[in-house]
Structure 1
Amino acid sequence: MCKQRLRSTFAALAMAVMAAPGLAQVVELKMSHYLPSVNVISADFLGAWAAEVEKRAGGKAKITIYPAGSSFGQIDRQLDQVKSGVVDIAFGLVGVPRDRLPRTELVELPFLAPDRSTANKALWAVAKKDLEKEYPGLKLLALTVDMTYLHTKGRAVKSIDDLKGLRVRAPSVTVNKILADIGSVPVNMPPVQVYESLEKGVIDGTVFAWDPIASYRLAEVLDNHVDNVVSAVSFWFAMNEKKYNALPPEVRAAIDAVSGDNLIPRFDAWFEKWSKAGVDAAKARRSSIVKLPDAEVARWKKNSEKVIEDRLVELEGRGVKDARAVYQDMQAAMQAASKK
């Protein structure tokens, strides 16, 4: 009886400690992404988002971030890690691994997104209608896009004919097809390998948004930049759904307060800041920054019609039967967003 009373006393003390004010258990969350910790997206967005969740949760949440170079930082593992619960939250590139998120990646088809702000609003609107099925087991926190451009080393580009034969790093299946259509040789590689590959002559150029020109120091190994949009590049930000549903209400509320509809509008200012840094880095190196003549853009746009149709047919043939309907929804959402 004495031992039983002792066990009961310990149990009661443990429950009292857990219930005591200020001693509530802290929820520890793991967040992974594929960017260096010094990258602007990592610092300005992901780090700030985590800090804001912790603050709003009143100290009841602790988020540890695992960037590139860490045990959870490989770009091609982000999606599987968060789905399986190896990490709780992750930020990834839609195009990696390839063809895993084909409906979302439709936003990258050429000449669909007129500008970054419109594309961000439109993609999130379509996500609520068409895209959640691509993220089973996940709680989508955001989808966002930036615009990509062509950056080359050693060869100025004044016409799409100048791109023929160039080995160009492509960030996704869509950009791969765009490059192949204009006669370039698409090369698939992670962002962190681009600097060395340019330096050693493995590739002649890359399709990137402007911000990596500064954040990955690519201005040092590139000397020509074509300031015409090649495509949108899309990113996802999500949490393991089971983990999200199991959170204490105050932690879940903190995440909701800085995600979804409350997060999407913030990307415009961030991407504008990051893009300016890239442009300024190129200008500081006295690199060439040009725009293609209108006639060349019109020619490129005409050629892209085949790329779009071929991609839709390909996806339909692979079982993505609603690919064309999702693309049409994106077109309508772009038009609606551009009027706001």
Structure 2
Amino acid sequence: RAAGPAEAAAIKVMGGAPVSMRITQVAQSLHRGVIQGTFNGWSALQSFKITPLIVTHVDMPFGVRGFFYGINGKVFDGLSGKIKAAIRKNTGMHVSRKFGGMNEARGARYRKDAAKDPKRNVIRPSAADQAGYRKKFQFLYDKWVTDRPNGQAKLNAVLKFRAEYRKGS
């Protein structure tokens, strides 16, 4: 299961045949044999009841998935000052870090549980193997850069932000 074109390309590189579908369709599709695997983080496996249908997990950092909550500007403008203040108080980097930390903690717990389960195989590729995959996936970065104006500058900004975020700054 691939959520989008980048994941589909990564699955192809690994020798798979990507099938595009919503996360809410994955459990049923695995159960019926429509797909043989899914490209997800640990938390999604639990949240969408996929875990009982998966026996082997390949645990490696394939990327970062971004989430956001949005509100239409006109709708926001029509809210009371008190509600706007509450929204502003509960947005920004501190909220991002909180959700990121919660997601990371859940993922670590699910990863640990899977590793202890004798019915599951958790495969963690070596650092050398992961470096090899990074080289195989480099074309995704290259395509992203060439497909948008100022792509390299934008990618550099994202990579810098990610590095600073991971350091805790």
TM-score by length of 1: 0.46
Cα separation, 2, equivalents of 1:171 and 1:186? 9
1:245 matched to which residue of 2? Answer: 77
Post-superposition offset of 1:280: 5.1
1:228 matched to which residue of 2? Answer: 60
* Greater C-alpha Rg: 1
Post-superposition offset of 1:278: 3.0
% same residue: 22
2:21 equivalent to 1:193: no
- Normalized per residue, the structure richer in strand is 1
Cα separation, 2, equivalents of 1:215 and 1:335? 28
Cα separation, 2, equivalents of 1:322 and 1:249? 38
Contact 1:244 1:252 in 2 (8 A): yes
- Normalized per residue, the structure richer in helix is 2
Post-superposition offset of 1:176: 1.5
2:9 equivalent to 1:177: yes
Post-superposition offset of 1:277: 4.7
1:80 matched to which residue of 2? Answer: none
Q: Secondary structure at the match of 1:170?
A: coil
Q: Which amino acid aligns with 2:134?
A: K
Cα RMSD (Å): 2.0
Cα separation, 2, equivalents of 1:190 and 1:277? 25
Q: Deviations over 1:191-245 (max 9, x none)?
A: 1111111111111100101012222221211100011112212212111111111
Q: Deviations over 1:299-338 (max 9, x none)?
A: 111112222212322x2xxxx3133221111122233334
Q: 2:142 aligns with which of 309, 315, 318?
A: 309
Contact 1:213 1:281 in 2 (8 A): no
Post-superposition offset of 1:188: 0.5
Unpaired runs of at least 5, structure 2: none
* 1:1-340 equivalence runs, <5 A: 169-279=1-111, 282=114, 283-284=116-117, 286-313=119-146, 315=147, 320-339=148-167, 340=169
Q: Deviations over 1:149-178 (max 9, x none)?
A: xxxxxxxxxxxxxxxxxxxx1122221121
Contact 1:214 1:281 in 2 (8 A): no
Contact 1:213 1:279 in 2 (8 A): no
Cα separation, 1, equivalents of 2:124 and 2:85? 46
Cα separation, 2, equivalents of 1:207 and 1:250? 41
Relative to 1, partners in 2 of residues 1:280 and 1:298: Cα closer, same or farther, differing over 3 Å? closer
Cα separation, 1, equivalents of 2:108 and 2:163? 26
Post-superposition offset of 1:285: 6.4
Cα separation, 1, equivalents of 2:124 and 2:17? 22
Q: Secondary structure at the match of 1:311?
A: helix
Unpaired runs of at least 5, structure 1: 1-168
Q: Which amino acid aligns with 1:304?
A: F
Relative to 1, partners in 2 of residues 1:203 and 1:177: Cα closer, same or farther, differing over 3 Å? same
Post-superposition offset of 1:271: 0.5
Cα separation, 2, equivalents of 1:297 and 1:213? 22
